[in-house]
Amino acid sequence: MKKTFCIALALIFTLALSACGKTDAPAVSGSTPSDTPVVSVPTPDGQPGQSPSSCTFDPALFGGKLRSCAYAGNGTLFVLADKLYLYDTGTSSVLATVEAPLRDFEAQAIDGGYVLSGIGDSGMMAYIYDSSLSLNKEIAVNELLQGDFVVSETGGVAASTDGKKLAFAAMGGLYLYDLESGNLTPLLDMAQNAGTANISISVLNGAAFAQNNSQIVFFGSGSSIPAVDGEEGFSIYGSIAVDGSGLKLTKPSDYEMEEMQSSVSRLFFPQTFTQADGTLLWIDRAAGSANTLSFSANGEGKDGVYGSEQGNYVATAVLGSDLTVRVYDVASGELVATEVIENSDPTYFYRIPRIYLLDGAKTAVVVLGGSIDELDTLVSVFEF
């Protein structure tokens, strides 16, 4: 199915409504609200605490240029525009707004609130909000580490689901921070040659809590012990208990990891775009087991891989003169949807899009041009 974007003229919305479903045209994000009414499909089976089974995404509710979104749990999204909006896709309503603390950030839902993290003027920052977006705590992470630095925006700061602990994947090691006591505990120390008998850890790029917050899964790069002539550093992933015991490291064969994406049930490890071979490594967050998802084409994944909010689905982007989005069921490996998005301005396809998959509503929200100041942001929504 083909969809064609309509360009906004003079920063005015020409299309304000994008209902989650098969629509004739996507919404356009500009700066002037529209009077177009929002229609949302009823959700008779929707219950509090569950992901809604329908979705409406209305860019007219957000001021200024829409830049990006982030999962906020149970079908809600953070929307970054002139402010930071907490948006309920099931009811098409803004639940709360706050001044955006960062131009770009990673969001994690915790019990009773959210943790937002990203790199600001003072380095890595973490902001702990309650459910109404009242700020409870602001943490200058690099100052807390006293000489060490977190440089990875994706996975550099991890939050336990109960909101009691943070983990920091830093240049010098892995740290556990207790938010209640303020205690900072090093779990891995690179200066002490952290690693196992066979692998030495050289770089940590990201971390996430797993197995009911008892473990921390991390990824980065390492080298062989003993050293192998001519061998360069290779990607690794591993886990360690929050008490510092049980370190495990794995070198995935010929698989170079670009990042770690966290969902409720799974952790996804997209490959470096130059090495993408059409497969995706993922870890079951509850069991800790590793698995591989195969895409439809060899090399697919180099233009972006996007895990869903709950972790049941993954989307890939294939860029060219248009954008092809493919959505896969992770458990079965089945390709469940293919969507082609076109626009007369090829600039929208020069950079990878941002794609958000809402499991309950089986809906994809595709954002193009959010990082390009000279363009109006284009938003397309489709069901899968």
pLDDT reported for residue 305: 98
Domain 105-152+155-258 belongs to what topology? Methylamine Dehydrogenase; Chain H (2.130.10)
CA dihedral sign, ordered 260, 261, 266, 271? negative
Q: Which residues pair with 165 in a beta bridge?
A: 178
Which of 181, 359, 212, 193 shows the shortest CA–CA distance to 286? Answer: 212
CB atoms under 10 Å from CB of 251, counted, come to 17
pTM for the model stands at 0.88
Q: Give the lowest-confidence range in 20-24, 94-98, 106-110.
A: 20-24
Q: Give the lowest-confidence range in 33-37, 298-302, 323-327, 359-363.
A: 33-37
Residue 48 confidence (pLDDT) above 50: no
Distance CA 96, CA 85 (A): 6
Where does the chain have alpha helices with state H?
Answer: 141-145
Percent of the chain whose pLDDT exceeds 70: 87
pLDDT reported for residue 325: 98
Structure tokens that stand for 252 in this block: 């995935």
Strands 248-250 and 234-241, by their bridges, are antiparallel
Question: What value does the mean pLDDT take over residues 341-365?
Answer: 97
* Helix, strand, coil % in the chain, rounded to nearest 5: 5, 45, 50
Residue 257 confidence (pLDDT) above 90: yes
Residue 39 confidence (pLDDT) above 90: no
Give span(s): CATH 2.130.10.10, the chain: 105-152+155-258
| Cβ pair 150, 141 in contact under 8 A | yes
